[in-house]
């Protein structure tokens, strides 16, 4: 519109000027680090087409970086969101991913689970299984399984990284070095077809790599806000990822590219 405003607001009661909408988009990305176009559109009550145009303008002003299906702050490659920030994002999608990922676990399995809010949700779904052996560096995963007598939980040692409630460092890596499990379930902060899984922190990446090396199959749990996003430290290259469990908000272009590189896709319907 020539007056720079739109009527497709969440409230549906007044027009929202483009400048106000873009400021709200910028505030959301600043608060969360990385946000998908779908989530931005839902939050500001506009179409994805409108939000995509806004993000392009904000990128031109140097305020955002645009990615497949989402946006991040400039310099986001090295920013690590806290646990509390992560819990506010994509809760419904993470639940659906956790439910679907649990179908990849069988009674009697030995598995490893990395740190993250999605892996925490996944661990909660495992209490229905029996005779499982679970190796983890995540306090949250261990807590989710603590009251289940049919599941043996083995924790790595290491230094507590409070922002993600997980153990990192050489003791954690050494504890994993001599183990072999059927599948590793790990998350991260970004996943691209070109580079694979990544995270902003070197210590976290080192432990996640050790978890992946201990497994016959690597299963990545990543909601749509992480698909197409790249962060500083590579965790697992694409060719070493066996399965991806994500939700139907993920970029189809990126998913097709991952599938063409041999990753088996499991898409949870939100």
Region 252-258: mean pLDDT is: 94
8 A C-beta contact, residue 174 and residue 137 = no
**What backbone phi and psi angles, to 5 degrees, belong to 180?**
-140, 120
pLDDT at 13 over 50: no
Residues whose CB is less than 8 angstroms from the CB of residue 223 and which lie 6 or more positions away in sequence, other chains included = 89, 90, 93, 94, 97, 118, 246, 247, 249, 250
CA distance 232 to 70: 17
Q: Could you give the C-alpha distances from 157 to 17, 120, 174, 187, 253, in angstroms and in order?
A: 53, 19, 9, 20, 40
8 A C-beta contact, residue 40 and residue 66 = no
Residues whose CB is less than 8 angstroms from the CB of residue 213 and which lie 6 or more positions away in sequence, other chains included = 176, 177
Q: Whose CA is closest to 39, among 240, 193, 223?
A: 223
pLDDT in tens, 21-41: 999 898 888 776 677 788 888
CA 206 remoteness from chain centre: 17
Token pair, residue 24, equals: 């709200």
If one compares 13 and 143, the residue with the highest pLDDT of the two is 143
- The full set of domains in the chain, from first to last, is 5-74 (1.10.10.10), 83-268 (3.40.50.1360)
8 A C-beta contact, residue 43 and residue 70 = no
Region 106-134: mean pLDDT is: 95
Mean pLDDT of the chain: 86
pLDDT in tens, 157-186: 999 999 899 999 999 999 999 899 999 999
Which residue's structure tokens are 């379930």? 185
Cβ count within 10 A of residue 23: 15
- Write the DSSP string, 100-135: HHHTT--TT-EEEE-SSHHHHHHHHGGGG--SEEEE
Residues whose CB is less than 8 angstroms from the CB of residue 68 and which lie 6 or more positions away in sequence, other chains included = 192, 227, 228, 229, 251, 253, 254
Q: Give the pLDDT band of residue 79 (cuts 50, 70, 90).
A: low
8 A C-beta contact, residue 187 and residue 223 = no
pLDDT at 83 over 80: no
Q: Give the pLDDT band of residue 1 (cuts 50, 70, 90).
A: very low
Q: Could you give the C-alpha distances from 40 to 8, 32, 62, 108, 267, in angstroms and in order?
A: 13, 11, 18, 42, 21
Question: Of all helices (H) and strands (E), which one includes residue 257?
Answer: helix 252-260
Q: The pTM is what?
A: 0.74
Q: Give the pLDDT band of residue 9 (cuts 50, 70, 90).
A: very low
Region 99-128: mean pLDDT is: 96
């Amino acid at each position: 519109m020539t007056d720079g405003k739109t009527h497709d607001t969440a409230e549906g009661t007044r027009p929202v000027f483009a400048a106000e909408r873009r400021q709200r988009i910028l505030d959301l990305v600043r608060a969360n680090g990385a946000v998908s176009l779908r989530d931005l559109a839902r939050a500001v009550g506009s179409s994805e087409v409108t939000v995509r145009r806004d993000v392009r303008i904000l990128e031109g002003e140097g305020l955002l970086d645009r990615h497949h299906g989402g946006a991040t702050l400039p310099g986001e490659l090295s920013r690590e969101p806290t646990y509390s920030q992560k819990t506010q994002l994509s809760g419904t999608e993470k639940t659906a991913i956790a439910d679907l990922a649990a179908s990849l676990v069988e009674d009697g399995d030995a598995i490893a689970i990395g740190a993250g809010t999605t892996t925490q949700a996944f661990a909660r779904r495992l209490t229905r299984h029996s005779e499982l052996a679970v190796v983890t560096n995540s306090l949250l995963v261990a807590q989710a399984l603590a009251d289940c007598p049919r599941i043996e939980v083995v924790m790595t040692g290491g230094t507590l990284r409070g922002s993600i409630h997980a153990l990192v460092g050489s003791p954690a890596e050494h504890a994993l070095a001599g183990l072999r499990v059927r599948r590793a379930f790990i998350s991260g902060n970004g996943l691209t077809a070109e580079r694979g899984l990544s995270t902003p922190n070197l210590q976290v990446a080192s432990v996640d790599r050790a978890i992946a090396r201990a497994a016959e199959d690597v299963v990545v749990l990543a909601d749509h806000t992480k698909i197409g996003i790249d962060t500083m430290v590579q965790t697992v290259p694409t060719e070493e990822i066996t399965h991806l469990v994500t939700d139907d908000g993920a970029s189809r272009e990126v998913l097709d590219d991952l599938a063409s590189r041999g990753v088996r896709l499991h898409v949870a319907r939100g």
